[in-house]
Structure 1
């Protein structure tokens, strides 16, 4: 798509308030499960208070004299409490994990749904790396915390609160002594959190930029090698990786200093409890057993508090990732506005359309075009003329800045997305083969299609022959890690999906551009068959595609400069006539008819002969119309 800037814009990131609000809303959809998880976690933590209390009481009894039976009962209570506490803790862990995993799964599904419904131009501006890092890396970070740390943290937080209550229950003065550590814990957090939060946010952004550099280099590998840009791209990846590594090392260094502050707080708190306990015992204000119980309670806080504070590292990381995931999940859902009756008029009308991206210059200016029902119109023009943008607007993929589109007199932007997809089929240059049996790949266009209907669609576009030659025919597993299809075969499948979907309106945006010379004729014939009887708008990659259309529209710098049939435009000797003569090798004034170009070897076909860096027409192949608008 045309872009007004090469800089990528990140998707939105939710604020802390928005993130918590989203989590509360999702957890609130499971009130029973959420309440049960909290109740069991509280019970498990409360059971943990039994052992220190019983041990303190045992010490007092030993000092005052006790029986063997009393000691046996005390040991039995501690053992039963330990077993029951372990069982409740395990149950609480399962329940909390179930709540957390369900919430995360819903967020991931919603984020993926919003991402899939983003306008094409928004995806273009965002960049693949940012989107992949959110639904991939960020979701993985949150999932790790949810599945491993999250349940433990919930139980630990409850344990800290109940243990603090237990210390005050033993003696309020011993409880206050334990609180001497609180300022040091708070100081450690106050020092760490404001410094680490921005670091983690920057680290996630750096990871997204690194992903963008890697994905961009891999997807554009052919171009990178053609222009000998390997060193530049490797250097860019190395720079962004170094930036991400530097941020990670900085965060780890900061975390190490944070842990030392936690240890200092533990030392001060336990020392305060022991000193105050000694003084109170000396004054006969409390018993040795009570002081022992209080010391054990405070010691019991070591691991939970250390875990809470040390896991602030994981929580900060997960919080930054969760905010990025929620930011996508909170994007507005696609509007739904009923499902009207099927269109009886399939003509298309583009009315006074002008479009620009962000604050850039207009890429389309006052475009008006009408395509009668069942007719084929081809868009022709040099790279950057606005062809792809106009096709996207016609297919309701993006909304025009001004002007409107009508299909059968109806504005598609007012209709529900699934209704538009049933009536407008779009095939672009970028075709994806989904992993799985080939027949299921085709059924994406029509899930209820029978094998006979799938076979008929393949036959209609001339793909049935090579499909039958696959190892398992229609049931051959294709896609990543399985049988690899060629670019031409992938585009054949896309055209077969169009036939299966059977929309009355079709838009082909350079849908056969990846075929190269060898498969050009077959794919052009397949495209013609797939669009037979449909109202069709074609972004022409080759002039032979345009020559067979009912009408040709020539765009130049966002404006319609010529329109007419192939014969009319060739005779007019305007821009299209010059392009045709350059492509076909004929002289001005010489009668000509559409024919297939020859590639460099002299075989019928078409080449991809764009003069690098210019978008100009290569007279040997007639390309230069093929470069997508950018």
Structure 2
């Protein structure tokens, strides 16, 4: 099979990204408007200190007595207290909105990632997906927590200051606006420069994450084959590429702020010249000139904050587009499940002319056709690489066939991922690789059904033969296992995986060598557990041991992605075919 380049997950367009953001803000717009109203009041109060200082300056210039300072000082004190109150309220209200929205974005990103077909994740690379639901979500969260409030506050402060300049004298406002063309040109240049930098930088970060994950997950193989140096070179190259984009973005930001300083110098110079002329001609007093100069100086921080937040906004926008892209790859949400059964009789599981290939590689399944009536049990046997696991994934709906279709009662199995309204799954896959989640035994089981009672857990554990050893744990099913807890053996983890299936209570169970890792002492226990799990259900069992096939109604023998034989175990043993030879070899090995 020829290697193919990773196919990254899609990136949402600007329109799709805005639509996703509007969805996240649904139901929270009233709170956002209230927060912005508090920011408006807070920005108006920022005009109080320059106004008070201007009045004090004029009083000193007029040689008034100390009593003339009482009013401005009291005004300044009251404005400071009011500004502290409105600033606190605005911060609190914005935090409630921002944290809720970013929390929803994170949850939706993880939910969309869990719905992605296995083929899509494999084609994109795990690193791309991980960087989106972790790094990109963190980038959006950080920007929303800081940039949103800063941006709104700065914009309102600028509007208030310009309005204050106009109230003093329209010529002060015109002088202050001389900086605007330089600032606008600087911002336009920066947006054109930084937007592609940040988008490419986030993509490079995904490639770096993919390289690191590949190195860590394949560490034993790399050590065994002494391939560490080559993998290290790939990781270093990916890191260098990501770092280069970060340096380029930093250089662009440095030039951006340098040009803003030039605009500030230009505007302040114009304000001082106008103030000099107006005072000399008697059209303005010293207090007004001082206030105008302080108004403009007070614009430095808001303007820099406003334009500077575009840096964070650009990064957040690139991250948000990648997060929304996960949802695009996952596709539209399926229609809600209902309790009403589909009209007509149940037709069972049907596999029609299924073909499959991985990415752009050669076909690995060639026209498989099967029919399983409700309650039938099918064993799939064959040598390694014959296509057993691929067929199991297609039947379970975790992969989409390249050609043909797989249906359960006429519904494609790929659309049966959502549970029904009563919490049941119509189809469940138990793979060979089982994961033990950090937490208690009960936590691991309730992943399948959160509402399961203690009696439900005990019944499931008893059925799979795990009630004895779980009861012997220090705290029973409430004992912490996995990372930070008690370490379980491979066959114990497999028993928990089978117990989860009982709690899911699916109509169809697909066991992909689900008991293959057990040693000989535990093999019979697990085989009995698998038999109990499939009892009364339609079952597809990818058999690791032929003893499992003998307990099924029919057997499918796979060879090079094709159906070599299909029939009952007894019928296939009587033939001089592939299954008969496998059976003879297996029976001889058992003595």
Question: What is the TM-score with the length of structure 2 in the denominator?
Answer: 0.91
CA contact (8 A) 1:445 1:500 kept: yes
Structure 1 residue 79: Cα displacement: 1.5
Q: 2 CA distance for matches of 1:193 and 1:87?
A: 35
Pair 1:386-2:387 in alignment: yes
CA contact (8 A) 1:376 1:536 kept: yes
Deviations 1:443-481 (A, max 9, x none): 222333332331222122222233233232211112333
CA contact (8 A) 2:150 2:309 kept: no
Where in structure 2 are the equivalents of 1:30-45 lying within 5 Å? 30-45=28-43
Q: Report the CA distance shift for 1:360/1:17 in structure 2 as closer, same or farther (over 3 A).
A: same
Aligned length: 586
Structure 1 residue 270: Cα displacement: 1.1
| Structure 2 residue matching 1:368: 3-state secondary structure | strand
Q: 1 CA distance for matches of 2:568 and 2:466?
A: 30
Cα RMSD (Å) of the superposition? 2.8
CA contact (8 A) 1:386 1:558 kept: yes
Deviations 1:365-424 (A, max 9, x none): 332112233332122234443323322232233444444334356555666821395232
| Structure 1 residue matching 2:503: 3-state secondary structure | helix
Q: 2 CA distance for matches of 1:317 and 1:518?
A: 56
CA contact (8 A) 1:346 1:374 kept: no
Pair 1:75-2:73 in alignment: yes
| Structure 2 residue matching 1:311: 3-state secondary structure | helix
Q: 2 CA distance for matches of 1:433 and 1:46?
A: 57
| Counterpart position of 1:555 | 558
Where in structure 2 are the equivalents of 1:17-96 lying within 5 Å? 17-96=15-94
Deviations 1:101-148 (A, max 9, x none): 222112222222222122222222222211111111111122222223
Structure 1: gaps spanning 5 or more residues: 585-591, 598-630
Match of 1:466 among 441, 446, 469: 469
Q: Report the CA distance shift for 1:548/1:27 in structure 2 as closer, same or farther (over 3 A).
A: closer
Q: Report the CA distance shift for 1:214/1:543 in structure 2 as closer, same or farther (over 3 A).
A: farther
Q: 2 CA distance for matches of 1:291 and 1:554?
A: 93
Q: Report the CA distance shift for 1:231/1:578 in structure 2 as closer, same or farther (over 3 A).
A: farther
**Please, which moves more after superposition, 35-44 or 421-430?**
421-430
Q: 2 CA distance for matches of 1:409 and 1:248?
A: 52
| Counterpart position of 2:137 | 139
Q: Report the CA distance shift for 1:421/1:508 in structure 2 as closer, same or farther (over 3 A).
A: farther
Deviations 1:76-99 (A, max 9, x none): 101111121122112111112221
| Counterpart position of 1:250 | 248
Instruction: Give 4+ residue runs of structure 1 displaced > 6 Å after superposition.
Output: none
Q: 1 CA distance for matches of 2:384 and 2:417?
A: 33
CA contact (8 A) 1:336 1:416 kept: no
| Counterpart position of 1:129 | 127
| Structure 2 residue matching 1:418: 3-state secondary structure | coil
Q: 2 CA distance for matches of 1:416 and 1:517?
A: 34
Structure 2: gaps spanning 5 or more residues: none
Structure 1 residue 162: Cα displacement: 1.6
| Counterpart position of 2:480 | 477
| Counterpart position of 1:613 | none
Pair 1:239-2:237 in alignment: yes
| Structure 2 residue matching 1:35: 3-state secondary structure | helix
CA contact (8 A) 2:431 2:513 kept: yes
CA contact (8 A) 1:200 1:316 kept: yes
| Structure 1 residue matching 2:536: 3-state secondary structure | coil
**Please, which moves more after superposition, 359-368 or 423-432?**
359-368
| Counterpart position of 1:423 | 426
